[in-house]
Amino acid sequence: MHVRPIARLAALILAAALSAGPARAEAPPDVVASVKPVHSLVAAVMEGVGEPHLLVRGAANPHAFSLKPSDARALEGAELVFWMGPALETFLERPLTALGADARTVALLEAPGLNRRPTRAAGAWASGHDHAHGVAEHGTAEVALAAVDGHAWLDPRNAGAMADAILAALVEADPARAERYRANAARLSARLAELDAELERTLAPVRQRPFVVFHDAYHYLEDRYGLNGVGALTVSPDRPPGAARLGEIRARIRGLGAACVFAEPQFEPALVDTVVAGTEARRGVLDPEGAALPDGPELYFSLMRANARALADCLGG
């Protein structure tokens, strides 16, 4: 039996339609994130949709980072770039102009509702933490971006403000997936509130114990939980302190009875060994960026819990 030509044509059209399946949705936007905590928050809001490209991977130092060719390609193709801003990732200023000109860049230090704190001078801090390159810390609603500490994610309330800015940018760039982004962001917000309460409980017993950090990256953590940081060995980890500053810190450790001096995993601990010699201070390790932690949505929570445990263990030991 012969199939009529028109019937054969109809069968071919039906077969082609069935084999094609439903129309493919438009691809999600190409997104780049600068450092691991930023990447973690972006990945949490994008979960189930796409994976942002991380620039500063592993234990690399964002204060002295050089882009790889793969990073340059990612920036060239990006529709959205999330970073803290030039106060932290100075290496990104020129590439964002040269390579990411077609991308929307979101500087999260400018997120609405984010509490900005000033960078403090290296060495010993005066009572009240008022050594802030001439910028008074308390009673100041806004801190000039030129003097701001870029590690704002170390206050979970700031992480919430950052997540809101991330959500707004993603919804604008990809409205078709707005409901998924909103659901992810709502879940993230609830988890951040739970984390904040957990860290409060962990750190409350050691609030009054004085300590010294490797570099001034923990201003937000100290402010949020009322911790008693009394000095930093250096303003930036790529600027080693001189002998006079080390002597000043050692004297402050002795004078205040500082319980701990905290190194960071990316850097040689020799400076910490030098400064604690002849004092009663213990050694600990804090990590502002999650150098040894796996990338992804859980990194932020692992990072904050690890730092809280390190503080509680060393200061309470």
Q: Which one, of 256, 249, 279, 228, lies nearest residue 123 by Cα?
A: 249
Work out whether strand 210-215 and strand 228-234 pair parallel, antiparallel, or are unpaired: parallel
User: Phi and psi (nearest 5°) for 139?
Assistant: 80, 10
From first to last of its 317 residues, the chain has per-residue pLDDT tens of: 454 555 555 555 555 544 444 444 688 999 999 999 999 999 999 999 999 999 988 766 666 677 888 888 898 899 999 999 998 888 888 888 876 557 899 999 999 999 999 888 766 675 544 433 333 333 333 445 558 899 999 999 999 999 999 999 999 999 999 999 999 999 999 999 999 999 999 999 999 999 999 888 999 999 999 999 988 877 566 666 677 777 877 887 888 788 999 998 877 667 788 888 888 899 999 999 998 899 999 999 999 999 999 999 999 97
Tell me how far apart the alpha carbons of residues 88 and 117 are, in angstroms, rounded to a whole number. Answer: 13
Encode burial over 265-300: b for 16+ CB neighbours within 10 A, e otherwise. ebbeeebbebbbeebebbebbbbbbbbebebbbebb
Encode burial over 84-111: b for 16+ CB neighbours within 10 A, e otherwise. bbbbbbebbeebbeebbeebebbbbbeb
DSSP-derived letter for residue 34 is S
